[in-house]
Amino acid sequence: MMAALANRTPGPQPAVASEPRALLERFRLKSEQASSTVDIVASDAEVPAAIAKYLAAMKLPSSAVAWASLAALDWAGAGLKLETRGARDADLVGITGCFCAVAETGTLMMTSSPDTPAAVSLLPETHIAVVHAARIVPYMEDAWNLARAELGSLPRAVNFISGPSRTGDIEQTIVLGATAPTACIW
Amino acid sequence: VVHWAENAAEACRMVVDIAKQNGVTKVAKSKSMVSEEVGLNDALLEAAGIEPVETDLGEYILQINDAEPPSHIVAPAMHKTAEDVADLFHAKHGTPRKTDPAALTREAREILRAAVSLRRHGRLRRQLPGRRDRLDAMVTNEGNGRMCTTLPRLHVAITGIEKVVPTLEDVSTLLRLLPRSATGQAITNYVSLLTGPKRLEETDGPQQFHIVLVDNGRAKLLGRRDARDAALHPLRRLHEPLPGVPDRRRPRLRLGLSRPDGLGADAVYVGLENAIDLPNAATMCNQCGVVCPVKIPLPDLLRKLREKQRPCTVMPATPPLPAR
């Protein structure tokens, strides 16, 4: 039993190329297959303008609830109004970062903490996540190793998000937006 | 807080007690086969007057249709057409009748979101509690599970003891197998791992976190060769929806099973005498055996159960089908 607990060897994994460019491409492909949209920008400074463009194209409001870690960017310069707090039911757009991202499945890993409230990626119908390309790892197992190295122990909640909410419960017709966000862009 | 429930009645009593102690009157539920197994909804309603609300769309459809039992473990309302759901929503919600699945989903979404934010007590299934890291994992596509664990004041997780796995690496492996085998996805849209209640200065998360581990006959099956493989595996219930497995939904409804669950090998749970048709309802084409990601020899198990039926002359006798 103790041997089983000490064994950290991953099980079989699908092949995922580990060069940074390949990781980014796979992450983008898998995200888009899960009905998310992906916009790649050169630096943090370009993020507010890219988000403003997306919100305008989707006819969404130019205000959003966001994680405090994103407050330093020049949102006002892009014409956006940001509130850094926990999300409420009426919020339409939530902007977050992420702990890391998994290329295998195009998945965001969110770790809970006072500064990274889970509700911001959950309640608003549109969730926008800012992902740093350097934080894309090949497999979920790599994400666990990163969490062990950087956080020590796991936080209260780890939420993996792979695209918007969906259901096939009525005649197996896939419908997006069953309970949680209906659009993700990152 | 971790609770150990010897049987179904004890599991229900534990959840009802937690709810009562905290003055809970309404419960938001994520889909849970273990809660079906132990009859939790009835226990909450009848014993304690607590109203459970299913937040999975399929389960919700069945719940508002006078608590109809699920026909499929992944897609519980699979036997319903969009027309059926249109009539049901029209009758129960009092809204104009609509048949478009997207519009119907939207209607349910509004109701369920409002329900979860009002509920004071969330409860849901855990797929794979990791032992070493002391946490629970759950999977959903709709995000209803995240709603249930993020917003309500209390969170009670209920699961079978066979789902406890040693490490996060095992969780990752099973997360690769489970959605692929169940819905053909590489991962479900939402996977949540939870380790405890809300921490200091966090704005969301429950104030209390309870885990109810349900034995209900599982430990006893460990000693039985014929039953062990099928009964005590985290992916046991996923045999049925595998893409290669023949459509089993109508046979199971006809058989009127007490458990809305698995293939014929589940007779080991309810006893052969209570499920005499069950081992005979499979075509034995071995499609399930071929594609099984965890190599459960289901046809062999069914054959053994059939052999067992012979000497004790427990033979199938299907009652006439109810009119649909």
pLDDT of residue B126: 38
Q: Is the pLDDT of residue B257 over 50?
A: no
HSE (CB half, 13 Å, CA atoms) of A85? 9
CB atoms A160 and B190 under 8 Å = yes
* Model confidence band, residue B276 (pLDDT cutoffs 50, 70, 90): low
pLDDT at A146: 95
What is the average pLDDT value for chain A, to the nearest integer? 83
The DSSP symbol for B47 reads I
Of A7, A167, A171, the CB nearest to B167: A7
Q: Which residues of A touch B166 (CB under 8 A)?
A: 4-5, 7
Q: How far apart are CA B176 and CA B238, in angstroms?
A: 13
- The pLDDT, as a whole number, for residue B237 is 42
How far apart CA A72 and CA A69 sit, in angstroms, is: 7
B132 to chain A: nearest residue by CA? Answer: A5
Angle formed by the axes of helices B82-93 and B101-118, nearest 10°: 40
Residues of chain A in contact with residue B201, where contact means CB-CB under 8 angstroms, are: 114
Question: Rounded distance, CA B316 to CA B231, Å?
Answer: 23
Q: How many angstroms separate the CA atoms of A62 and B40, rounded?
A: 45
In terms of Cβ atoms closer than 10 Å to its own Cβ (0-12, 13-18, 19+), residue B271 is exposed
Q: Is pLDDT above 60 for B277?
A: yes
CA distance B278 to B305: 9
Kind and range of the H or E run holding B33: helix B33-38
pLDDT digits (tens, 9 = 90+) for B194-223: 888 888 888 777 888 888 888 887 777 666
Q: What is the pLDDT of residue B312?
A: 56
pLDDT digits (tens, 9 = 90+) for B85-114: 778 777 777 777 777 777 777 776 677 666
Helix (H) or strand (E) holding B155: strand B154-160
The percentage of chain A sitting over the pLDDT mark of 90, rounded to a whole number, equals 33
The set of residues, in sequence order, having a beta carbon less than 8 Å from that of A170 and lying 6+ positions away, is: B57, B61, B77, B80, B82, B85, B101, B104, B105
**Any chain A CB within 8 A of the CB of B245?**
no
Model pLDDT, residue B319:
57
Structure tokens at B20: 């009562």
- pLDDT at position A167 is 59
Token digits for A5? 């607990």
* CB-nearest partner of B105 from A13, A30, A175: A175
Burial A42-80 (b: 16+ CB within 10 A, else e): eeeeebbbbbbebbeeeebeeebbbbeebeebebeebeb
Under the banding of pLDDT at 50, 70 and 90, the label for residue B266 is low
Contact B211, B1 (CB under 8 A): yes
Flag if B195 and A156 touch (Cβ within 8 Å): yes
Tell me if B78 and A172 make a contact (CB, 8 A cut-off): yes
**What percent of chain B has pLDDT above 90?**
0
Condensed to tens digits (0 to 9), the pLDDT of residues B21-34 reads 887 777 777 777 77
Q: How far is CA A44 from CA A69, A77, A171, B99, B313, in A?
A: 12, 13, 43, 45, 74
Average pLDDT in chain B: 68
Q: Which two tokens stand for residue A114?
A: 């006072």
Confidence of residue B131 (pLDDT cuts 50, 70, 90): very low
Query: What's the pLDDT score for residue B173?
Result: 86
Comparing A178 with B162, the larger pLDDT belongs to B162
Cβ–Cβ under 8 Å, residues B314 and B276: yes
Q: Backbone phi, then psi, for A184, in 5-degree steps?
A: -130, 140
Residue of A nearest to B139 (CA): A160
Does residue A74 register a pLDDT over 90? yes
Q: Choose among A109, A126, A111: nearest CA to A35.
A: A126
Q: Determine contact: B214 vs chain A, CB below 8 A.
A: no
Q: How far apart are CA A165 and CA A177, in angstroms?
A: 5
| Beta-bridge mates of residue A111 | A158
Six token digits for residue B210: 């309870």
How high is the pLDDT of residue B81? 75
User: How many other C-beta atoms can be found within 10 angstroms of the C-beta atom of residue A147?
Assistant: 20
Length of chain A: 186
Between A158 and B52, where is the model more confident?
A: A158
What would the mean pLDDT of A90-115 be, rounded to a whole number? 91
The residue with greater pLDDT, B166 or A22, is: A22
pLDDT at res. B242: 33
Q: Among B186, B284, B241, B191, which Cα is nearest to B70's?
A: B241
Q: pLDDT value at position A7?
A: 72
> Listing from the earlier edge strand, what are the strands of the sheet with B51-54?
B2-5, B208-214, B154-160, B121-125, B26-29, B51-54
What is the C-alpha separation between B278 and B272, in angstroms, rounded?
8
Nearest to B5 by CA among B195, B161, B221: B161
Contact A118 B75 (CB under 8 A): no
Kind and range of the H or E element at B228? Answer: helix B225-231
ipTM over 0.85: no
> What number of C-beta contacts closer than 8 Å exist between A and B?
188
Q: Which chain B residues in 183-202 lie under 8 Å from chain A, judged by CB atoms? A: 183, 186-202
In chain B, what percentage of residues exceed pLDDT 70?
A: 60
Does B249 have pLDDT greater than 70?
no
Find residues 108-167 of chain B whose CB sits inside 8 Å of chain A: 108-109, 112-113, 116-117, 131-133, 135, 141-144, 146-147, 149-151, 166-167
